[in-house]
């Protein structure tokens, strides 16, 4: 590997980010009539007309525009776009009676679903903290702290640790089973880690630091597999492994399930989640000024597992998921897993110096650039066959938004710059 090779990869990502990806979103997403963002686009980039604005899509979009502005892109336009989203989030999605953000409104801002879902609240903390860091607008930190305080008051499990996740509007815990009130997940706690990281970076408050460290300790001590270091998706309240079921409020769910229980429900792990967990943990340690060597095995195990079992050396890219022991269950290619794997593999190469991580990065990079990016439109296909033929063709909806793709480009470019400086 030479600086010339690194520069070629960097330039390819930079061109995609600045000439395709950011223009896709900057030219079509702001809802000038009602505020907030339009987030549903078909394969041609046309508004597909769904009458909804979800908390997850609005907050992830705010994060995308704020973080890209903070990284130096957009000449100020991205800060304005982020502010446009924050105005809507606070004015139309904040619950003035009970606090917290509603799960769903329609395009006009009328509440469709008033539940309080910790997964969504975590992204509110994440995006609002990032927004204040990027723009200096104090409203971001103000509301991020409000949500943080609500989570400590209503959702924290003082018996077994961690956070319950599914609540009614007034923060009463929902029932068991598909309502989700009796379960805890890797997904929500991993995103609480990234949210608390950015909150602490923004506020510098010791309480935010302590709660970040608590979530990290929980992730490495309870949630990641004790032998393989890979992510376990769902748990009972006392952190016994629970069969992975589909909740009434769905995110990140396997697309082919019919009976509400995932195949191999107690032995499956996501390669993309494992890479995302590792690089988010590494970033949290950087903000905490904690040496990564302190968590070396917790970083190495999930990255090594993804490298060994998740990379498709024949066609490029990364598979969806498999067992903790190594059997691959799903060889299709999802957009977000490719995005997170790019960052994770670069961090692994920077941290461990193993050339195999760089070769794996190149394999995923080429699959993304040659197959997964819909270049004439500018965004990524959501789901492809192993060989790279689109299965789903929409460019965006509430669960397929700009957060993974733009963040992947911004963060990967930063890491390629580090590698070039080191070379």
- What are the tens digits of pLDDT across the range 120-149? 999 999 999 999 999 999 999 999 999 999
**Rg of the Cα atoms in the chain:** 20
DSSP 8-state code for residue 245: B
- Of 123, 35, 133, residue with least CA distance to 84: 35
CA distance 34 to 57: 16
pTM score over 0.85: yes
Q: Please name the residue ranges forming H helices in 71-205.
A: 77-88, 118-135, 138-150, 186-203
Is it the case that residue 251 has pLDDT exceeding 90? no
Confidence at 248, pLDDT banded by 50, 70, 90: confident
Rounded to whole angstroms, the Cα distance separating 332 from 383 reads 7
Is residue 262 within 8 A of residue 268, CB to CB? The reply is: yes
pLDDT mean over 290-319: 97
Proportion of the chain in helix, strand, coil states, percent, rounded to 5: 55, 10, 35
- Do 273 and 342 contact (CB within 8 A), yes or no? no
Task: Write out the DSSP string of 252-310.
Answer: S--TT-SSSB-TTTTS-EEHHHHHHHHHHHHHHHHHHT--GGGGHHHHHHHHHHIIIII
For range 183-199, the mean pLDDT: 97
Averaged pLDDT for residues 395-420: 96
Phi-psi region for residue 24, left (φ > 0), alpha (ψ -120 to 50) or beta? alpha
Which domains occur in the chain, in start order? 3-421 (1.50.10.10)
- Residues 5-10: what's their mean pLDDT? 96
Q: What are the tokens at 14?
A: 């930079």
Give the pLDDT score at 72.
Answer: 98
Q: Which of 17, 11, 169, 144 is nearest to 78 (CA)?
A: 17
Average pLDDT of span 76-92: 98
Provide the pLDDT for residue 257. 53
Q: What pLDDT is stored for residue 350 in this prediction?
A: 97
In the predicted model, is pLDDT for residue 263 greater than 90? no
User: 207-227 pLDDT, tens per residue?
Assistant: 999 999 999 999 999 999 999
For the chain, the maximum distance between any two Cα atoms, rounded to a whole number of angstroms, is 58
Q: What is the mean pLDDT of residues 363-391?
A: 98
Mean pLDDT of the chain: 95
The whole-angstrom distance between residue 116's C-alpha and the CA centroid of its chain comes to 19
What pLDDT sits at residue 265?
A: 56
With beta carbons less than 8 A apart as the criterion, state whether 262 and 194 touch. Answer: no
Among the residue ranges 168-172, 193-197, 246-250, 395-399, the one predicted with the least confidence is 246-250
- State how far the Cα of 21 lies from the Cα of 370, in Å rounded to an integer: 15
**pLDDT for the residue 268:** 85
Q: Is the pLDDT of residue 273 over 80?
A: yes
- C-alpha atoms less than 13 angstroms from C-alpha of 30 in its C-beta half-sphere: 17
Q: Would you say residue 261 has pLDDT above 90? A: no
Comparing 80-84, 263-267, 377-381, the range with the smallest average pLDDT is 263-267
> Alpha-carbon distance 122 to 111, whole Å?
19
Nearest-angstrom CA–CA distance, 356 and 287: 28
Q: What backbone phi and psi angles, to 5 degrees, belong to 182?
A: -105, 15
Give mean pLDDT, residues 79-94. 98
Contact indicator for 65, 88 with CB cutoff of 8 Å: no
Eight-class DSSP state of 157: -
Q: Which residues contact 396 (CB under 8 A, 6 or more apart)?
A: 39, 40, 41, 379, 402
């Amino acid at each position: 590997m030479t600086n010339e090779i690194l520069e070629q990869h960097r330039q390819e990502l930079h061109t995609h980010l600045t000439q395709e990806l950011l223009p896709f979103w900057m030219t079509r997403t702001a809802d000038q009539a009602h505020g907030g963002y339009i987030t549903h686009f078909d394969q041609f980039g046309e508004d597909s007309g769904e009458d909804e604005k979800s908390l997850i899509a609005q907050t992830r979009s705010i994060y995308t525009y704020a973080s890209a502005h903070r990284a130096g892109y957009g000449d100020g336009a991205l800060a304005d776009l982020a502010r446009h989203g924050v105005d809507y989030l606070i004015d139309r999605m904040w619950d003035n009676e009970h606090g917290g953000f509603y799960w769903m409104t329609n395009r006009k801002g009328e509440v469709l679903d008033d539940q309080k879902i910790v997964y969504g609240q975590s992204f509110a903390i994440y995006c609002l903290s990032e927004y204040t860091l990027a723009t200096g607008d104090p409203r971001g930190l103000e509301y991020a702290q409000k949500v943080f305080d609500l989570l400590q008051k209503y959702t924290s499990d003082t018996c077994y640790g961690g956070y319950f996740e599914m609540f009614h509007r007034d923060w009463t815990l929902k029932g068991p089973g598909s309502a989700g009130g009796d379960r805890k997940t890797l997904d929500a706690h991993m995103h609480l880690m990234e949210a608390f990281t950015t909150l602490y970076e923004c506020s510098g408050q010791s309480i935010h630091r302590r709660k970040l460290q608590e979530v990290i300790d929980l992730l490495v001590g309870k949630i990641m597999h004790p032998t393989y270091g890979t992510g376990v998706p769902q748990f009972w309240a006392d952190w016994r492994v629970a069969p992975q079921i589909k909740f009434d409020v769905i995110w990140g769910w396997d697309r082919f399930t019919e009976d509400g229980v995932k195949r191999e429900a107690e032995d499956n792990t996501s390669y993309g989640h494992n890479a995302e967990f590792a690089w988010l943990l590494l970033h949290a340690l950087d903000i905490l000024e904690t040496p990564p060597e302190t968590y070396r095995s917790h970083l190495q195990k999930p990255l090594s597992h993804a490298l060994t079992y998740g990379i498709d050396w024949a066609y490029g890219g990364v598979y969806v998921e498999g067992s903790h022991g190594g059997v691959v269950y799903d060889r299709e290619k999802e957009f977000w897993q490719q995005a997170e794997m790019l960052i994770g593999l670069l961090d692994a190469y920077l941290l461990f110096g193993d050339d195999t991580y760089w070769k794996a990065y190149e394999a995923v990079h080429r699959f993304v650039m040659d197959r997964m990016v819909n270049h004439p439109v500018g965004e990524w296909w959501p789901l492809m066959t192993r060989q790279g033929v689109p299965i789903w063709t929409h460019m965006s909806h509430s669960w397929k938004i700009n957060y993974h793709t733009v963040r992947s480009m911004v963060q990967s470019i930063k890491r390629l710059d580090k590698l070039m400086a080191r070379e």
